[in-house]
Amino acid sequence: MSSTDISAACRSVLDQPSPRAKVKAARKAARDWRLSRLARGFDTPMPDQPARTGRPPLLPPSRMPKRGRAGSPRARIAMLHALAHIEYVAIDLAFDLVGRFGAHFPTAFVDEWMAVGAEEAMHFALIERRLNAYGASYGDLPAHDGLWEAAAATAHDPMARLAVVPMVLEARGLDVTPSLISRFDAAGDVRSAQVMRRIAEDEIDHVAAGVRWFAYLCERQRFDCAVQWSDLVGRHFRGMVKPPFNDSARERAGLTKAMMAGVAASCDLQHKGGVA
């Protein structure tokens, strides 16, 4: 076994500014962990922000440009670019979760989230390849940083991180992906639709991992999962959780209709000024 520990390997992923280097580092870290080349240690701190090249430029959501006429090549490039950015940030989110919070969990948690990180890197590479097929590259268009902002807001608490990032933000992908697949199919871009179907199946498992380890923490502290989730989302998430939901995908991931009703009500109360 190497003297390098798991947190140092996770930090190496977050410290890579270029997409190609980050994907390579993610695959290496996951492979080294799987082959027992890394010690189970958490002495290396995670950065406040991952390294970035400056491409894509990050804008507030309100300043993001329009995607163009529905079904046009410009609109498809914009959709793929937005998806690539989500998957790119998801690489950092997975490895930050392990490096920052892995000491709070058994080894099975590290096993699962290192594998998730490798899958996010694969997803990014698949979408980047589709962008390249249109003559575009990741970084060509602006993006927004809402995913990492949520990570920064929950950097102090593993339960809050799981409640907000996989169980709210990543779960939203389960809702929107079917319509994205339909748009690619309607435009005749069968390959992009196939890529999105593959990613959608993996993302159900990723959200399920968030639900499972959130439940693990709740059980340890004797919290009711649904109540605790609503409370944490109300305190740490500034957006809305509202339908339409992909009920079948969410149920497969462990997010029941009862849980969704509770968290949606909590967000609504927050936006009406009922939560400090």
Euclidean distance between CA atoms 104 and 109, whole angstroms? 9
Name the token pair of 118. Answer: 């490798």
CA-CA-CA-CA torsion sign (219, 95, 118, 174): positive
pLDDT (tens digit, 9 = 90+) per residue, 20-76? 999 999 999 999 999 999 999 999 999 999 999 999 998 877 777 776 666 788 999
Q: Please state, rounded to an integer, the average pLDDT across all residues of the chain.
A: 91
Q: Which residue has the higher pLDDT, 144 or 208?
A: 208
- Kindly tell me if the per-residue pLDDT of 102 is higher than 60: yes
- Nearest to residue 25, comparing CAs of 54, 4, 43? 4
- Nearest to residue 170, comparing CAs of 148, 188, 142? 148
- At 271, the pLDDT band (50, 70, 90 cuts) reads very low
Euclidean distance between CA atoms 9 and 30, whole angstroms? 9
Euclidean distance between CA atoms 64 and 36, whole angstroms? 43
What is the pLDDT, as a whole number, of residue 272? 45
What is the pLDDT, as a whole number, of residue 274? 41
The verdict on pTM exceeding 0.95 is: no
What is the pLDDT, as a whole number, of residue 265? 66
Mean pLDDT is lowest, of 37-46, 70-79, 135-144, 210-219, for 70-79
CB 218 within 8 A of CB 224: yes
Euclidean distance between CA atoms 58 and 209, whole angstroms? 29
Mean pLDDT is lowest, of 68-72, 95-99, 101-105, 234-238, for 68-72
What is the pLDDT, as a whole number, of residue 242? 79
Give percent above pLDDT 70 in the chain: 93
For residue 145, give every residue at least 6 positions away whose Cβ sits within 8 Å of its Cβ, in sequence order, or none: 58, 89
- Kindly tell me if the per-residue pLDDT of 244 is higher than 90: no
Distances (CA, A) of 64 to 78, 103, 107, 141, 145: 11, 38, 40, 9, 11
- Kindly tell me if the per-residue pLDDT of 186 is higher than 90: yes
